[in-house]
């Protein structure tokens, strides 16, 4: 069986995520949505674009199950669904389910991260044995802590009584960190000395965390590496927050927070707490102060006096429009820091988006 994750109907709702990469690349909990589907089903899982390319190349013999890519699967839910799939001829479409969570808005990524972390922890660690954790650490509920091969944790305090703690392959928790679960670090991620982390927080692959972080998700290759506060927030891939950068996550009035919704072109109420939503390839200068409920689009360089706007449009450089050549140069410079480089496919995607703005 082949599963195709279709995001054509939901991309605008989840802005700024799903602009450059498919919605199924969104990380919530420990895994991306596409990775969850692979783990839960054991099937081949493709995005709509990947499925189209396979069909074009004549590699489309298997029965196809088409699923909305904003559905976050669980093992139990899939077992219930799979038991009702007696035959698959010409495809089958699951549009919604009341038995599992779905992402409708980007702020739900941090709102649902506690639930997703616990689900993924059980999925990944079931039947496996953690690598030993050093005796230099102070641990609470060590049975809820799992270290992958190559993970390093020394002279830190970890409280896993409040939720599981997952330290990925070759990830490092430096000395003096204080972690309160649920918490996950994916492969190659680093938590810098003295960091204070509250659940439910996820550092994606090769991310760097520091200062104070609470209930936030960093997708991958992003940095919040210095002092400052990040709370109830989501950073896309290849983002960077300069030293001293902080966000507010609750209004001084303790009233409802509103966030920019790109589909309706308006600000929508999201609850009492919401911090920063930042799209891929965006960055903020040192000591940037983000207001409660700020949305930053893709490929932005946020700097200047005072508070940034509560919605920073794509391809913004300070108060101007980023030139395309400079965008590519800056992205590539950041990628080189982590031994990557911008690809031709990425350039083409960004060029198309830039020319249509």
pLDDT digits (tens, 9 = 90+) for 127-157: 999 999 999 999 999 999 999 999 999 999 9
Q: Residue 3 carries which DSSP code?
A: E
**Is residue 120 classed as helix, strand or coil in its secondary structure?**
helix
* pLDDT for residue 61: 59
Give the helix/strand (H/E) hosting 296: strand 294-296
Query: Domains in the chain, please, with CATH?
Result: 2-104 (no CATH), 110-322 (2.160.10.10)
What are the φ/ψ torsions at residue 204 (nearest 5 degrees)?
-70, 180
* pLDDT for residue 100: 78
> Which strands sit side by side in the sheet containing 229-231, from one edge to the other?
138-140, 157-159, 178-180, 196-198, 212-214, 229-231
* pLDDT for residue 62: 62
Measured distance CA(93)–CA(42) in Å, rounded? 18
Structure tokens at 140: 């609470």
Instruction: Measure the CA angle with vertex 217, ends 37 and 166; round to 5°.
Output: 70
Strand partners, 312: 296
**Is residue 134 classed as helix, strand or coil in its secondary structure?**
coil
Q: Residue 154 carries which DSSP code?
A: -
* pLDDT for residue 130: 98
Give the helix/strand (H/E) hosting 330: helix 324-336
Q: Are 38 and 32 in contact (CB under 8 A)?
A: no
Average pLDDT per run of 10 along the chain, which is 357 residues long? 89 94 97 96 86 57 79 89 60 56 95 97 97 98 98 98 98 98 98 97 98 98 98 98 98 96 95 97 98 98 95 97 97 96 96 93
Kind of pairing between the strands at 190-191 and 172-173? parallel
* pLDDT for residue 26: 98
CA 154, 160, 162, 166 torsion: positive or negative?
Answer: positive
* pLDDT for residue 52: 58
pLDDT digits (tens, 9 = 90+) for 8-43: 889 999 999 999 999 999 999 999 999 999 999 998
What are the φ/ψ torsions at residue 310 (nearest 5 degrees)?
-75, -10
């Amino acid at each position: 069986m082949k599963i195709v994750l279709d995001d054509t109907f939901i991309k605008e709702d989840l802005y700024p995520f799903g602009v450059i990469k498919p919605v199924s690349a969104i990380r919530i909990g420990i895994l991306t949505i596409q990775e969850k589907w692979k783990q839960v089903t054991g099937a081949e899982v493709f995005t709509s674009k990947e499925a189209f390319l396979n069909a074009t190349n004549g590699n489309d013999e298997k029965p196809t199950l088409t699923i909305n890519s904003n559905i976050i699967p669980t093992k139990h839910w899939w077992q219930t669904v799979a038991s009702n799939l007696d035959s698959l001829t010409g495809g089958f479409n699951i549009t919604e389910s009341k038995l599992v969570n779905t992402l409708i808005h980007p702020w739900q990524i941090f709102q649902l991260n506690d639930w997703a972390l616990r689900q993924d922890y059980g999925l990944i660690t079931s039947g496996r044995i953690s690598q030993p954790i050093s005796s230099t650490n102070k641990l609470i509920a060590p049975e809820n802590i799992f270290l992958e091969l190559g993970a390093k944790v020394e002279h830190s305090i970890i409280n896993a009584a409040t939720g599981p703690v997952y330290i990925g392959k070759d990830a490092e928790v430096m000395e003096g960190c204080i972690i309160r679960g649920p918490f996950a670090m994916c492969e190659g991620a680093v938590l810098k000395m003295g960091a204070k982390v509250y659940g439910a927080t996820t550092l994606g692959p090769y991310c760097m965390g520091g200062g104070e972080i609470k209930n936030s998700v960093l997708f991958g290759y992003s940095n919040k590496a210095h002092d400052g506060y990040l709370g109830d927030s989501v950073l896309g891939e290849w983002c960077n927050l300069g030293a001293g950068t902080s966000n507010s996550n609750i209004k001084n009035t303790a009233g409802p927070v509103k966030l920019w919704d790109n589909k309706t072109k308006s600000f929508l109420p999201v609850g009492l707490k919401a911090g920063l939503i930042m799209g891929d390839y965006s960055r903020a200068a040192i000591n940037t102060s983000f207001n409660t409920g700020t949305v930053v689009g893709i490929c932005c360089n946020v700097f200047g006096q005072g508070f940034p706007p509560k919605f920073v449009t794509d391809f913004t450089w300070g108060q101007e429009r980023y030139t395309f050549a400079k965008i590519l140069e800056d992205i590539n410079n950041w990628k080189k820091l982590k031994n990557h480089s911008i690809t031709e496919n990425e350039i083409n995607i960004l060029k198309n988006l830039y020319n249509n703005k």
